[in-house]
Each structure stands twice: as C-alpha cells, then as structure tokens.
Amino acid sequence: MRVALVHDYLAQDGGAERVLKAMHEIWPEAPIFVLFHDPQKINYINQAKIRESFLGKMPFVKSSFQWYLPFMPGATERFDMRDFDVVVSSSSAFAKGVITQPETLHISYCHTPTRYLWGDTHEYLSELRQNWLVKTLLLPQLIHRLRLWDKMSADRVDHFVANSKTVQHRILKYYRRPSEVIYPPVETDKFSLTKELGDYFVAGGRLVPYKRLDLIVQVFNRLRWPLKIFGTGPEFNNLKKYSRPNIEFLGRISETAKAELLSKAQAFLHPQIEDLGITAIEAMSAGRPVIAYAQGGATETVIPGETGVFFYYQKWESLLDTLLHFRPENWDRARIRAHAEQFSANNFKQNLKKYVEDRHEEFRKGLNQNALSL
C-alpha cells in the first residue's frame, strides 16, 4: 500500500504538527506534501521526505504566509498524487483539497473546518490590524472565494476523520459529511506524577486572543495568587502589560520544564473553546486537575469532580467563583492520569492505522467489484 501524507504547511509547532509526526511514524516511507516548510521551527520530521509546493521558493512565505493565501488552493491542487494507493491528509485548511486519481483513496484527518472561513470569520476580521479598505472590501471578498473552494475541496475527500466530537459536529454542519472520531496523539509518557504540590496555578500554550488568557489575568490580578503562564504569541506583551507581579510569564519552555511545571501545579486553567485541548490533557497526564470553560473539546476530556471542574460562563466572574471554591488537595493524581492515558500517542497510531487499512480494503474490494461488472 503506497501512502502519501499531505499537510497544510509546516510553519509552527502545534497540535496538528504532532499529529503529522505520529502519522509519519505509522508510515515512515510516505512522502509529506506541504505548501512550505520552515525547518527552524519544525526539525523533528525527516527532511528528505518533505515535498514543498512552489510557494516554498517564494520570498517571505515563512514569515508572512498570509499574503499568499490566494495562491494556496492552486498550489495544493498541483501536488501529483498519481503514484499512491492512499492519501492521508492532515488538514485545517488546504491539504484536503488535493486531487487524487479514481483508484486512489483519500482520507482526511480534519483538525477543524477552517476557522477564519466559517465560525470565526467575524472575530478574525475584527482582530486584524489592517486598514479599513483591506478589512472591509478586499479580505471579505477573498474569504468568500476561499470558502467556496473549501466547500468544493471537502467533496474530494472519501472519508473524514475528526479529532473530536466538537469537530465532528462542525464537519457535518459546514461540509454536510459524516466522520469518524479518532482523538489526536498526546505524548502522555513524557509526564509523570509527583507528590510535591506547588503554590501556583498554571496556564499557557500559544498566546493568541481566542485562548482568553485575559480572563485569567483579570482574575489573578484580583486574587493576587501565584500564576505561571508559559508560551509565546501575539498576546504576550499585552497580557504582561496588565499583569500584577504575582503573575509570572515564562515564555517558551522545554518539554521537560513543562512536564515539571504541570505536575506541581495546583491546577491547569483552560478558559478557551478548543477543538480538543492537548495541553489540558498533558496536565491530566501529570496528575493535575483542569479548571475549564464548559464548551468545546474540554467537555470530552474533563470529567467534572474526577479530573477537573467546569465554569459555565466565559467571564472572569464565573472563573473567579470557581477558583474560590476549588480545593487543590482533593484530587487523586493516579486516577486523573489513568483517564488521560486513553489519549496516548500509541492509541492514536493503532486506531488510525486500523481505520485506514479497513477503509482501503473496502475501497479496493469496491474497485474490484466495479471492474467485474464491466
């Protein structure tokens, strides 16, 4: 079975890239087709297997790739898939739009239908720091055209796999397609339990607006409790500017440092709506509870009273009230970790490999039956 992997682009190290890494561990001989690749940010995937589109040779594509959005559908369609029996795309934007042969099976692992084209369009436009002409006239037209292509490209996929029930619902809503849920890989074996408990809470990841870390800052500015925030992003300076001294910004930290930080925290704070929420699962892998907003993927990963607690309004007052009633010592670390193990990288690889092989066998039998009927 000749397999090709297709990913949107390799420009940041996030959950989607960890999914691609696990896919490549399943099919190590498979080439990886991407629009472009920044090896300084992603260096853990075999360079020899990566095949860039023509966009990879364009100036400033790695630092300002948003300006190349109009060319990305066409660049994706130029990938030559003729030599493969199965194409597995890892997509939250363009990768699912590859054009395959009639005898090639295409399975798309969907991280989410493209956020800025569907549910988050208005929020995306309002947060852009562009002039009125760009935000009001040019970008809405571009988004409209990309949305039409996105819906058309979804029709090219034979089978969708969703990374959560939350995303499964979006796929049905926007693409009108059913999907199978296979949770993404979390490297749970990199986290361990400790009896030591620090005096701090922790939050972090990519510091972008939708993560709603501003709610956490507002609450801890009032409580004056110790809070540690790890990660970098466009919101880093803004959040730090309005934070009191009890809030510590750690910036980018190593995986080892993150594991230790999470294992000793009172709890991990998760105030955003995520497709699933990998960092929250990592915190549970370290045996610590999660305080999460009760929407999105957190409702699939956090068990109230067993692995964490919910707050039900995405407002600082609701989070504050939950924290005031929270007791960090009343949690079974081993039980929390056991729950997190179901999201392990090994489970992901076993489940996805079986799913692809089963669908390929069905697809191949269908081709043979069609040939016999002619």
pLDDT band at 374 (very low <50, low <70, confident <90, very high): very low
Answer yes or no: is pLDDT of 245 > 50. Answer: yes
CA-based nearest residue to 76, from 57, 60, 55, 92? 55
Please check whether residues 175 and 201 belong to one and the same domain.
no
Please check whether residues 38 and 132 belong to one and the same domain.
yes
pLDDT value, residue 88? 98
Give all strands of the β-sheet with 32-34 in edge-to-edge order. 50-52, 32-34, 3-7, 86-91, 105-110, 159-162, 179-181
Please check whether residues 148 and 266 belong to one and the same domain.
no
pLDDT value, residue 368? 63
Question: CATH number of the domain that 328 lies in?
Answer: 3.40.50.2000
Answer yes or no: is pLDDT of 11 > 50. Answer: yes
Start-to-end CA distance of the chain, whole Å, equals: 25
Which of the two residues, 47 and 274, has the higher pLDDT score?
A: 274
Please check whether residues 30 and 174 belong to one and the same domain.
yes
Please check whether residues 162 and 280 belong to one and the same domain.
no
Total structural domains in the chain?
2
Q: What is the tens place of the pLDDT at every residue in 327-341?
A: 998 899 999 999 999
Percent of the chain with pLDDT over 70: 96
pLDDT value, residue 373? 54
Question: CATH number of the domain that 46 lies in?
Answer: 3.40.50
